Amino acid sequence: MKIIRTSEGFEITGFAWNRNKYNYRKFTRQEDEISGQRTYNVDSKKIPSVTTILSATKSKEDMEGLQRWRDRVGEAEAKRIMIEASTRGTEMHYVLENYIEGKGYINLSEKGNKARLMAHKIVENLGALEIVYGSEVSLYYEELYAGATDLVGVHGNKPTIIDFKQANKLKKREYVEDYYYQIAAYALAHERYHGPINKGLICICTKDLQYQEFMLDQDDLNRYKDKWINRVEQFNRGML
């Protein structure tokens, strides 16, 4: 893959689009201001998001670890860090979405420049991407959950779910397990209504432009699908 500069911004080349492979639907979403829970509008129903289920079913150890971090840095600083990371991640995703769609886009603000360089670092490491079936693909599984993955296509000759992530620093595998759950949830939903997924890819770029990736093979996907179903069941028990 290669990044090229156009009169309207940047684009990427080196892969093919196949928009007719699957008939993806687009779902709107909303977030409750009080609970923070996100739902997707699927037909006439509000379906909980993958991230909402993961957040509501965190282990006691994960919750305690998050609280220790908040206590250590202070509530105000924790909020600032989270907002800054969310803003940076949103912009980075928007840059990548526009590049993949072949739309010219450039944001010359300081935050825009940082996000663009992070997006470029991810693109530089996506050389094995051959075909794109969809970008920002909405997916759902019956009335259980819904979400949106960044990319569905063929990577390294295998149909793949790809998610882009930003981070403040490099991650250990045990710190990104929720990303594995997300990929498995999207793969399960994609297979339910569209077609097979044989691989998952998590592409991470830190704010100081270090790239990192985690890959799920078929065995990983199968294992995390089972674990994800358990999280969904746990979430539904808590809603009773």
Instruction: Report the side by side order of strands in the sheet with 29-31.
Output: 29-31, 38-42, 45-48
Q: Which domain range does residue 215 map to?
A: 2-239
Task: Compute the distance between CA of residue 91 and CA of residue 207 in angstroms, rounded to an integer.
Answer: 12
**What is the residue-level pLDDT of the chain in tens, covering all 240 positions?**
666 666 666 667 778 999 999 999 999 999 887 677 899 999 989 999 999 999 999 988 888 888 898 889 898 998 898 888 888 999 999 999 988 888 867 777 777 889 999 999 999 999 899 999 999 999 999 999 999 999 999 999 999 999 999 999 999 998 899 999 999 999 999 999 999 999 999 999 999 999 999 999 999 999 999 999 999 999 998 864
Alpha helical stretches, state H, 14-137: 50-56, 60-73, 75-101, 110-124
The one-character DSSP state at 49 is B
Task: Compute the distance between CA of residue 160 and CA of residue 213 in angstroms, rounded to an integer.
Answer: 14
What does the block give as tokens for 153? 């296509």
Task: Compute the distance between CA of residue 76 and CA of residue 23 in angstroms, rounded to an integer.
Answer: 44
pLDDT of the residue at 7: 62
Total domains in the fold of the chain: 1
Task: Compute the distance between CA of residue 236 and CA of residue 239 in angstroms, rounded to an integer.
Answer: 5
At which residue do the structure tokens 């199968």 appear? 222
pLDDT of the residue at 178: 95
Give the pairing type, strands 199-206 and 158-167: parallel
What does the block give as tokens for 30? 């909303």
Task: Compute the distance between CA of residue 46 and CA of residue 53 in angstroms, rounded to an integer.
Answer: 14
- Contact status, residue 51 vs residue 71, Cβ threshold 8 Å: no
CATH number, domain at 215?
A: 3.90.320
